[in-house]
Amino acid sequence: MGNYQEQFRPQFHFSPKKKWMNDPNGLVYNDGVYHLFYQYYPEDIVWGPMHWGHAISKDLITWKHKSIALYPDELGDIFSGSVVLDVTNSSGLGSIEKPPLVAIFTYHLMQGENAGRIDYQTQGIAFSLDNGDTWKKYDGNPVIGNTDIKDFRDPKVFWHDESNQWILSLVAGNHAKFYRSDNLKNWTHLSDFGKEVGAHGGVWECPDLFKLKVEDTNEEKWVLLISINPGAPNGGSGTQYFVGNFDGERFIAEHDDIKWVDVGTDNYAGITYNNTPNDKRIFIGWMSNWYYGQKTPTKDWRGAMTLPRELSLIKEDNHYFLLSNVIDSFNNQLSNVIEEESINLDSPFKLKYQNFNQTEIKFRINLSNQIHLKFKNEKEEFLIFEMNPLKKEMSLDRRKSGLVKFENRFADNVHTLSYIASDKEVDIRIMLDWSSIELFIDNGKYVMTEQIFPTEFYNSLQIASIDVISIKNFKLNTIKSIWDR
Ligand code: FRU
């Protein structure tokens, strides 16, 4: 058993104890427990016949590993999907006293694919009557068969109050499909979305449809997340979103531009929790990219999740933006090391610290200012973040950040994010773990998540600017490890 101190092991992000993990699945809260199921291959550290791994948490911060929830069977391997709490026992799989958790997932029949067929993905369900500890497959599977659609997967289900029915979204190659049901077993196709809108550089995956209130208004909007691979702004896998309306039958987007949840290279297949207390919309993504995800230089395990993020929606100049912010309670994991009310950048600010790879760095700056941040170790491995108002571009450069040669596309480019360089004071928040960086700027309006593999911890930080400025409220905080050792 690992002690979670192996080289590159995330210290405050979820990762499996051993072996391969990709997408988060079945995110659901029930009876005091946040469940995290995930795409899991227990035999190797590369992708293989998929199972659903399982972990639980009371706070979304520290996790307990559980045994595998769903194993492949004669209908196929278990691809991505979701879990709902069937409170009224509409499915009849439990009882009113013991409402079942129902998992809705994709069966992927490898023999079918290998035989050159195209109808090898179908949707199945399974249920649990002991809050996720043990699962039984429904004996009438599949609940949605395949007619002739090659990529037909990743069902996300929720209860739609307004129309009093279960709604299921799934993807079918270049678009999303919506279905309805009264009992989670019989599904009727309602509508399609997306053939002509959004990014189409690759296949659509992992849809998620939910409602959000627009901050500081009484307006409500529907948001549809769609992962796409390849075709993301900085290469490979990424997640776009649409804002619009859903009437119980049809989703209509209200914009033509393409919007991304996160412009970094390593936040994919993210979905949100069902059934959370206070209706919070909490998102977790797989912190990797199919371009190189199977080749990253970890040894006994591979894969980690992003920090759980609360999503919110704002409207600025008639445009909607989805904001991602680390859940508030994560602040309890922080201890302050250095705090400076103001740092003058007439000359570069230099800070030494033994290990930046388990810290949060935070400060305020005007969006119209230029800034250059560099984390470095004694081996001259470094990671650069820059904000350039002239180019209207932020950038993250991991080309020399540590081990990068395991796959060309990991570090062939500086990764960029376009922004509006207005005269506005904003916060910059950086969460650095042993093998990742998460950047949140302007209250989570601009987000970049990326993996890094420094062979020693970064131990110096330099902040410089060509403008005559000072940064405000600078903080360096350490982050507690989430693993019991
Ligand atoms: C996304 C994905 C899903 C699929 C799963 C298979 O990363 O390709 O579409 O269900 O991974 O592991």
Encoding tokens for residue 188? Answer: 């009727």
Mapped onto helix, strand or coil, the DSSP state of residue 332 is helix
**Ligand 1: which atom is nearest the Cα of residue 151?**
9
Q: How far away, in angstroms, is 290 Cα from ligand 1 center?
A: 10
The continuous run of DSSP H or E covering 110 comes out as helix 110-114
pLDDT, tens digit, 9 for 90 and up, residues 366-418: 999 999 999 999 999 999 999 999 999 999 999 999 999 999 999 999 999 99
CB of residue 156 inside a 6 A radius of ligand 1: no
CB of residue 224 inside a 6 A radius of ligand 1: no
Overall average pLDDT of the 457-470 stretch: 96
**Residue 304 near residue 13, CB atoms below 8 Å:** yes
- The Cα 481–Cα 485 span in angstroms is 9
- Mark whether 23 is an active-site residue: yes
> How does residue 123 score in pLDDT terms, banded at 50, 70 and 90?
very high
Encoding tokens for residue 265? Answer: 């290279």
> How does residue 168 score in pLDDT terms, banded at 50, 70 and 90?
very high
Q: What is the pLDDT of residue 2?
A: 54
What is the percent of the chain where pLDDT is above 70? Answer: 99
pLDDT at 468 over 90: no
Which amino acid makes up residue 187?
W
The residue whose two tokens read 């993990």 is 21
CB of residue 154 inside a 6 A radius of ligand 1: yes
- The Cα 25–Cα 39 span in angstroms is 7
- The Cα 321–Cα 312 span in angstroms is 8
pLDDT, tens digit, 9 for 90 and up, residues 9-59: 999 999 999 999 999 999 999 999 999 999 999 999 999 999 999 999 999
Marked catalytic residue, from 23, 86, 208, 262: 23
CB of residue 25 inside a 6 A radius of ligand 1: no
pLDDT, tens digit, 9 for 90 and up, residues 415-437: 999 999 999 999 999 999 999 99
268-272: strand order across its sheet? 268-272, 282-286, 309-316, 319-326
- The Cα 64–Cα 54 span in angstroms is 9
> How does residue 1 score in pLDDT terms, banded at 50, 70 and 90?
very low
Q: How far away, in angstroms, is 34 Cα from ligand 1 center?
A: 22
Q: How far away, in angstroms, is 21 Cα from ligand 1 center?
A: 11
CB of residue 79 inside a 6 A radius of ligand 1: yes
Q: Ligand 1, from 51, 113, 204, 205: best to mutate by most atoms within 8 Å of Cβ?
A: 205
- The Cα 374–Cα 347 span in angstroms is 14
Say if residue 109 is exposed, middle or buried (CB neighbours under 10 Å; 0-12, 13-18, 19+).
Answer: buried
Overall average pLDDT of the 297-322 stretch: 97
Spatial neighbors of 86 by CB under 8 A, at least 6 apart, are: 93, 94, 99, 100, 101, 102, 127, 184
Q: How far away, in angstroms, is 385 Cα from ligand 1 center?
A: 30
- The Cα 174–Cα 436 span in angstroms is 30
446-451: strand order across its sheet? 334-344, 470-479, 359-366, 425-433, 436-441, 446-451
Find the largest Cα–Cα distance for the chain.
Answer: 70
What is the average pLDDT value for the chain, to the nearest integer?
Answer: 97
